[in-house]
Amino acid sequence: MTIVVVMGVSGSGKTTVAAMLAGRLHCAYLEGDDFHPAGNVRKMRGGTPLTDEDRLPWLQRIAMEIDGWRAAGASGVLTCSALKRSYRDIIVGTRPEVTLVYLKGSRELIQHRMAARHEHFMPLALLDSQFATLQEPASDEDPVVVDVGPPPSEIVDEIVRRLAERTLQ
C-alpha cells in the first residue's frame, strides 16, 4: 500500500503530476480541491485568502479519505496544498504509510504557469498569500522534494524512482 499526498502552492502542478502519478502507480486519485466547501471556493474566487478556520473542515475531509484508503489497504494519490505544518499534521500526521511529495518551485515560474491557466478558481492575486503561508516540509516529515521545473513526465519519473528507493530501505 502506497498513499501519496502531493503538496505545493497553487500552480505548482499538483493536479497534473498527481493524476499522472496515480496512473503510473495504478491506484486511485483524488483532487483535494474537490473537498473544499462551497464557501471556501467562493472566497478564493473572490480573491480572499482562506483562514485556518476555513481550511479545517476541508483538511478533516481529506484525512477521512486517506483513512478510508488505509482501512481498505488501498493505494492512492491525493492533492492538497498543505501549506502549513499544522495542516500536514492533520492529513499525514502519524500515518506511516503516507508519503508527502512537495512540488517545489520559484515564485516566478509558478506565477508564469498560473497566468497561463484558464478555468481555475484560484486567481493569480492569491499567489503571494500562498507563498507567505507556505512552510516548507521539514526533514522530520520525511518529504520527497521535487523541483517543478522539468516537464511533468520527468517529475513523475523522479517521484516513482524516489518512492521505489523508500520501499527498498
The pLDDT profile of the chain, 169 residues, written as one tens digit per residue, is: 899 999 999 889 999 999 999 999 999 999 998 999 999 989 888 878 789 999 999 999 999 999 999 999 999 999 999 999 999 999 999 999 999 999 999 988 888 777 765 554 455 566 788 888 899 999 999 999 999 999 999 999 999 999 999 888 6
Task: Name residue 20's amino acid.
Answer: M
Please tell me the total count of domains within the chain.
Answer: 1
**Confidence at residue 49, expressed as pLDDT on a 0 to 100 scale:** 79
Show the domain range for 132.
Answer: 3-168
Q: Is 4 helix (H, G, I), strand (E, B) or coil?
A: strand
**Backbone CA torsion sign across 75, 61, 95, 5:** positive
Cell of 121: 478558481
**Confidence at residue 121, expressed as pLDDT on a 0 to 100 scale:** 47
Whose cell is 499525514? That residue is 92
**Confidence at residue 116, expressed as pLDDT on a 0 to 100 scale:** 65
CATH number at residue 88: 3.40.50.300
**Confidence at residue 119, expressed as pLDDT on a 0 to 100 scale:** 54
Q: Is 100 helix (H, G, I), strand (E, B) or coil?
A: strand
Cell of 87: 495542516
